[in-house]
Amino acid sequence: MTRHPHFGATLGVAMLLGSTALADTTIRFAHHLPQSSEQHIAAERFAEIVADRSGGSLTVEIMPAGQMGGQREIIESVQIGTLDMGYGESGLYANYVPGFGILTLPYLYNDPAHWRRVVMGEIGEQMAQELQAQTGLVVLNWIEAGYRDTYTTGKVITGPEDFEGLKIRVPESPVFVETFAALGAQPTPIPSPEIYTAMQTGLVAAMEGTPEVGYIQRIYEVGDQLNKTRHIFFDGSFVTSQTFLDGLSDDERQIVLDAAAEVAAQQRDERAGREDEWFAKLGEEGLAINEVDAAPFREKLAPLQDMFAQKAGAEAQLEAIRAEGTE
C-alpha cells in the first residue's frame, strides 16, 4: 500500500471517508494469469468499484501475467507486505494450513452448488479464520475457477491406467501432487507462467487445468488432446493481509471488502457460460476434446480423500463437506 499526499479533497470524498480521508492509497494487486483471464477481469471490476466508491482516493494497480512471480511467490509477498493483494487458491493455502487442501480434493463435490455451500458456509469460514490466525493472510472472497481437465500430447485418457508413468505439470500444491501420484503419474510442480515452455520442451508430457487456462496459455499449440477428466472443482480468491486492512480507515476497509464480495458474486454467476465458450474456442483451434467416464477415477481416488484428511487432521471437515452434498 502506497500513500501519497492528498490535497484539495472534494466534499464528496470527505463525506464518504470522513475525517480519515487524508491521503491517496495505491493498492498493489498481483496475479499470475494473462489479462484475458476472467480472474483479471474480476480484478479490473474490483479496481473500478474501489476507485468509484472512494472518489478516487483508492487506486488499484493490477500487475498481471506473473509479473510478480508465480502464485506461491505472490501469496508470500502479500504475507510479508511487499504486495497488498493477490490472487490465491486453497491448494496453495494448504502450504500454510494443511486442512485447506481438502477443499480441492478430487471428485469431492457433486456440483458447483455443493462447492458454494461449503466454501461460503461455516466450513470455509472456519478455514479462512485458521489461515488468518496462523499467517495473517485474509481471504476476501470465493471465485469459481471451475473444473480441471487433462491436456496431453498424442495420448488419449480413457481411464486411470492411462496416467501410469505420465509426467504431468501440476500446481505447487500438495493435493495435486498426491492426486496424480495416486494415479501412477509423475506429478511435476511448475509455476503457472512456465507451463507452455514445459510442454513445448517436453519437460512434461501433460498438464491439467480449466478450459480457460488451456486457451489463454495456448496449450493447443503444444498439446493435441483435451481429456475431460473433471477431476477437481477448483476455487480462487482475492487474498490480502490483516496488516494491510488495519492500515485502512474504516470506510476504506469497507469499500475494499464490499467490492471484493461483489465482483466474486458476479464471477460465480457468469463462470459456467464462459466455460462453454472456452471449450468452443479450444475446439476451433484444433484440440481434440474427449469425454471421460469419471466413475473409475472417482473409485480410484476415493481412498485419497480419507488419507489426505487424516494427514491434515481434517477428518471432521471432510465429513462435513460430504454431508453438505446430501442436501
At 40-83, the pLDDT tens digits run 999 999 999 999 999 999 999 999 999 999 899 999 999 999 99
Distance CA 264, CA 244 (A): 20
Percent of the chain at pLDDT above 90? 86
Higher per-residue confidence, 82 vs 23: 82
Given this model, what pLDDT does residue 23 score? 62
Provide mean pLDDT across the span 201-213. 96
Given this model, what pLDDT does residue 91 score? 87
Helices (DSSP H) in the chain: which residue ranges? 11-17, 38-53, 71-80, 90-93, 112-119, 122-135, 174-182, 195-200, 211-216, 242-246, 250-284, 295-312, 315-324
Q: Is pLDDT of 138 > 90?
A: yes
- DSSP letter at 231 equals E
Q: Is pLDDT of 17 > 60?
A: no
**pTM, rounded to two decimals:** 0.88
Q: Is pLDDT of 12 > 90?
A: no
> For domain 2-324, which CATH number applies: 1.10.3720.10, 3.20.20.60, 3.40.190.170, 2.40.40.20?
3.40.190.170
How high is the mean pLDDT of the chain?
92
Percent of the chain at pLDDT above 70? 93
Q: Is pLDDT of 2 > 80?
A: no
